[in-house]
Amino acid sequence: MKGIFIVNNSFFEKLKTGLAKTRNSLTKNLDNLVFGKKVLDRELFEKLEELLITADMGPQFAHDLINDVKERIGRHELQNTAQIKKILQERMVGILRQMEKPLTIPKGQPFVIMAIGVNGSGKTTTIGKLANLLGSDGHEVMLVAADTFRAAAIEQLEVWGNRVQAPVIKQKINADPAAVVFDALAKVKTGYRGVIIIDTAGRLHTRVNLMEELKKIRRVIGKDLPGAPHEILLVLDATTGQNAVIQAKIFKEEIGASGIVLTKLDGTAKGGVVIRIASELALPVRYIGVGEGLDDLRVFESNDFVTALLE
Ligand SMILES: Nc1nc2c(ncn2[C@@H]2O[C@H](COP(=O)(O)OP(=O)(O)O)[C@@H](O)[C@H]2O)c(=O)[nH]1
Ligand SMILES: [Mg+2]
């Protein structure tokens, strides 16, 4: 038992380190606000709203939270400003708990994951880290270089493949990505029963081209292996704040997505964007990225996340 606690603790510490920027900005502002001010008045509400919007939690969340605070004051449940932090925590957990639906991957049968998202959002890196995570969970993993738009993209995936000792299916630059995917699925026909993670392009000559290419890949997978892809992971860069939300909506509408990975939470003070994504997109957050290292991908857990942000 002791060992488990130690592991969990270091796991949590890493999450906290990763979320340090958001936590520092959020708690510092919040503490300034609630301890500097003793009166629950209009000015306090305005500042609180501003703070939540700055953290990219979105106008809806800010509005609902403030209404909640006002109602509690009306019911004489709130005596001092310090209690606001507790309410914030409860509401964050309330929203994020709904997004906590970890990906469950069965063993002994093929499971296809297609990663999508704009260029630079962290797809290839996430795939490498995910392969490591799944590998340590006893899954067999194969990577597929279906971003054939840039030679560097194929090489980058190969580097990760070497690091995590996963085979990489590839063709030459500018090859038809659907053909690369077809090659990977041929392995299923010859008995492969592990996880197949498909890397895709995030930029082509036009957005229409990109969406058409992704739809084609998706179609080819489904035709070849009915029921697949089992997961379409939308990879979003948290540092882009509300832009990530806009991108997510486009990808969700055009391609469909079954889960989100939010990357670069270590590099931003806008980690609150998870709240916004959760309330506006209704998609589970499967994993979060808190660094560029091999084990900097975490299964998203609402309680840990909120604790790491506020304490
Ligand atoms: N700090 C940090 N950097 C990340 C994270 N995920 C990806 N990156 C970096 O973001 C950059 C773009 O990532 P990449 O995987 O190439 O994005 P892609 O174009 O979507 O495949 C690279 O420099 C990655 O190392 C993360 O969680 N934290
Ligand atoms: Mg890439």
213 CB within 6 A, ligand 1: no
The ligand placed nearest to the CA atom of residue 263 is: 1
d(CA 252, CA 40): 41
Q: What percent of the chain has pLDDT over 90?
A: 60
247 CB within 6 A, ligand 1: no
* Letter string b/e over residues 90-120, b meaning 16 or more CB atoms within 10 A of that residue's CB: ebbbebbeebbeebebeeeebbbbbbbbbee
46 has pLDDT over 90:
no
Looking at the CA of residue 129, tell me the nearest atom of ligand 1. Answer: 6
Q: How far is the CA of 73 from the centre of ligand 1 (A)?
A: 44
The ligand placed nearest to the CA atom of residue 239 is: 1
Using alpha carbons only, what angle is made at residue 182 by residues 178 and 164, rounded to the nearest 5 degrees?
A: 95
pLDDT, averaged across the chain: 90
7 has pLDDT over 70:
no
128 CB within 6 A, ligand 1: no
Query: Residue 272 has what pLDDT?
Result: 87
272 CB within 6 A, ligand 1: no
Residue 133 pLDDT level (bands cut at 50, 70, 90)? very high
Query: Residue 1 has what pLDDT?
Result: 35
d(CA 201, CA 118): 8
Looking at the CA of residue 117, tell me the nearest atom of ligand 1. Answer: 20
Record the pTM: 0.91
Ligand 2 (ion): residues with CB under 5 Å are: 123-124, 153
267 CB within 6 A, ligand 1: yes
Structure tokens at 105: 């991957």
Q: How far is the CA of 295 from the centre of ligand 2 (A)?
A: 18
pLDDT tens per residue, range 80-91: 777 888 899 999
Measuring CA to CA, how many Å separate 171 from each of 126, 142, 147, 269, 278? Answer: 21, 15, 10, 39, 37
pLDDT tens per residue, range 198-223: 999 998 778 889 999 999 999 999 99
Measuring CA to CA, how many Å separate 196 from each of 147, 180, 300? Answer: 15, 12, 21
Least confident range of 12-26, 116-130, 142-156: 12-26
Of the segments 27-36, 218-227, 244-253, which one has the largest average pLDDT value?
218-227
102 has pLDDT over 80:
yes
Strands 285-289 and 168-169: unpaired
pLDDT tens per residue, range 16-31: 888 888 888 888 888 8
